[in-house]
Structures are given as structure tokens and as C-alpha cells.
Structure 1
Amino acid sequence: MARNREFDIDRAVDRAMDLFWRQGYAETSLPDLLKELSIGSGSFYAAFGSKEQLYLRALDRYTSLQGHDLETALDGTPEIRPAIRGVLASLVEADLADPTRGCLVVNTATQCGDQPQATDRVSTAIRQVESFLAAALERARARGEISAEKNPKELARFLTTFIQGIRIVGGARMEREFMEDALSTAMRALD
């Protein structure tokens, strides 16, 4: 008779996500995961298959959470500039508070470039950010908040690239003034 799992899969994925986010994919060993999840190797393999498969699930969870936060910040906002500034400022603050953590998507792009499934998920996450931004910018253009001559998709691609760049620069422990100057310049793209 099969034994029931004695742990919560979703909670385990969240804990693994946090561990991968802190340590990186390569630096996180199977013993690290087993200790963090408080499970044995048999349970680990039965639930997740492999370290890579768990990493992909953790990355999916991360992008889902981040995507939800971005969509919530932009959806239904009465003014696009303060909403986008708020999103960008929150990233700057997160990086200033803990520059070692960064963004799991950026970390994956820089650490797992040889893993096709991981790079596919990174591309999907980037496209999701672009989509949320483009939709919000399109609504803002329709309301007259940004010039009718501005292309929401192009602006969204610029801001998406800027977001990824600011996460990398944050990891380099750049000072607040540097980060805030970059943010102010990015915001002028909406003028």
C-alpha cells in the first residue's frame, strides 16, 4: 500500500523557491533541499522527480507571485506614472535592502542559461511583464495620460528591460543616488 505524503507540496515549493533564490541553483545541493524541506530523498524524488524539476516549479511559483503583484499594481490604477514609479521604486528598495537576493528570474537567466526549460520560463516571465505593462500603458494612452504618439508596446519593452537591468545593478550594490537617477530617467520615457 502506498504511503501518504506527510508534507505540504505547495509549502515545500515555496521553501525551495526561497532557498534557490538565496543560494542560486548550482549552489543549492540535494542535501540542502532535503534539510530545508525536512524530507527524505525518497519523498523528494516521489514528489518532485529531480532538483531541476523542483527548481522549475519554484521558478513558476515565483513568476506567478511576481506577475500577480505587478498586475495588481497596474490594474485599474487611476494614473499610470505613479503606479509605474511605485513598481520601480519598490524594486530599488528591495535591492537596497538585500542586494544579494535580487530577482529569481534574473538569477535564472544568468545562472541557468544552459538549461532550455529554465530559459523558456525566463522568456515567458519577461513576456508576462511586458504584457502587463503594455496593457496598462495602452489604457493610459486611451485616457490621455501619455501621448497618442507613444507606442505602449515599445514603452513596455523598454521598461521590462529596465526592470531586469535595475535588478542586476542592484545586485552590484550601487548606491541609492545611482538607482534613483536611473529610475527618474526611465520615468521620462513616459513624457
Structure 2
Amino acid sequence: MARTREFDTEAAVGRAMELFWTRGYEATSVRDLTRHLGVGQGSLYAAFGDKHGLYRAALEHYRSTLAAAALRSLEEGADVRSAVRGLLAERVRIAVEHDGRGCLMVNAACERLPEEPSVRRIVRDVQDASREALAEVLAVAAERGEISARHDPHTLAAFLITFLNGLLVSAKVTPDAGALEPLVEVALASLD
């Protein structure tokens, strides 16, 4: 008779996400995970297969929670400049929390690529979704005359996502929102 799982896997993934985000994949051992999650190694393996399976689940959790919330806030913004400013500033704020832990997706790209195709796919999906959502918002704003139409919305969105990725790496080096937020204003000049 199979034993029933004795822990909430969704809560475990959320807690694992926080640990991976703070410490990174390589620096987080299975022992660290079992202690942090309060589960046995057998239960962890039964639920996720291995450490990498839990890591992928943590990245997916990030995508469906924090990344999805960022896209919703972008789509709900009153004007495009405020929406983009808010998106970028909020990502900086989150990245500098906890002494500059950065962004989980950018951290995953820096730490696990190119060796891990499954991680590449998840990170690329998040980046693609962000770029497409931003391009749609920028296209509408250009049609309304809120921003210059001199740049293709997809190219402008790709630039802003690339800028954000660099900003998030910088947040690990300089975990000071006050030092990084003025750079957001420079990026917003690309909308003129």
C-alpha cells in the first residue's frame, strides 16, 4: 500500500523557491532543503524526483506567482510610462531585498546556463512572456501617441527586458535601490 504524502507540496515549492533564490542552486544541498522544508529526503525525492526537479518546480512557481503578478501590474497601469517605471522599480526593489539576492530567473540564467536545457526553457518562457506583454502595451501606447513610434514595439520591449536583466545583475553587486532607480529614468528615455 502506497503511503500518502505527508506534506503540502505547493507550500514546499514556495519555501524551496525562497531558499534557492537566496542561496542559489549549487550552494543549496538536499540536506539544506530537507531541513528548510521540514521533510525527509525520501519524501522530497518521491514528490520531486531529485533536487533539480524541485528547482524546476521552484522556477515554475516563480513564473506563476511573481512574474505573473508583474505582468498583470504592467497591463493594469494607467499610462505606459508609469506602468513601465513601476514594473522596473518594483523588480529592483525585490532584487535588492535580502542583501541583493537578485532575481531568481536572472540568477538561474547566470548559474545554470547553458548546461541545463530545462532551466533555459523556463527562463526563456518567462522572458518571452514579459517581452510580448510589454510589446503589446508599448504598441497601444504608440498608437495613442503616448510614446514615440520611432522604435518597433517588439524591439523596444526587447531592449527594456535586456536592460532589466542587466539591472537585476547590478542589484546583486550593488543592492541599493536608491543607486539603481535613477537608471530606470534613463531607460524610460527610450520611450521618447
- The bucket for the TM-score relative to the shorter chain is over 0.9
Contact preservation (8 Å) 1:80, 1:140: yes
Q: Deviations over 1:41-91 (max 9, x none)?
A: 111111000100110010011122233222211214331001111111122
Distance 1:23 1:56, change over 3 A: same
The equivalent residue for 2:7 is: 7
Task: Give 4+ residue runs of structure 1 displaced > 4 Å after superposition.
Answer: 174-178
TM-score by length of 2: 0.92
Q: Contact (CA 8 Å) 2:96, 2:102: kept in 1 or not?
A: no
Tell me: CA distance 1:119–1:178, structure 2 relative to 1, closer, same or farther (3 Å): same
| Counterpart Cα distance in 1 of 2:164 and 2:3 | 45
Count of residue pairs brought into register by the alignment: 191
Q: Is the 8 A contact 2:95 2:175 kept in 1?
A: no
Aligned to 1:35: 35
Q: 155-164 or 74-83: which moved more? A: 74-83
Let me know the Cα RMSD of the aligned residues: 1.6
Q: Which amino acid aligns with 2:6?
A: E
Alignment-mate amino acid for residue 139 of structure 1? V
SS at match of 2:88: helix
Contiguous gaps of at least 5 residues in structure 1: none
Aligned equivalent of 1:184: 185
Contact 1:25 1:111 in 2 (8 A): yes
Residue 106 (1) aligns with residue 109 (2): no
State the TM-score, normalizing by the size of structure 1.
0.93
Percent identical: 40
Pairwise CA distance, 1:32: 0.7
Asked whether the equivalents of residues 99 and 172 of structure 1 are also in contact (C-alpha less than 8 Å), the reply is no
Q: Secondary structure in 2 aligned to 1:69?
A: helix
Determine if the alignment matches structure 1 residue 16 to structure 2 residue 16.
yes
Q: Is the 8 A contact 1:99 1:170 kept in 2?
A: no
Paired residue secondary structure (1:162): helix
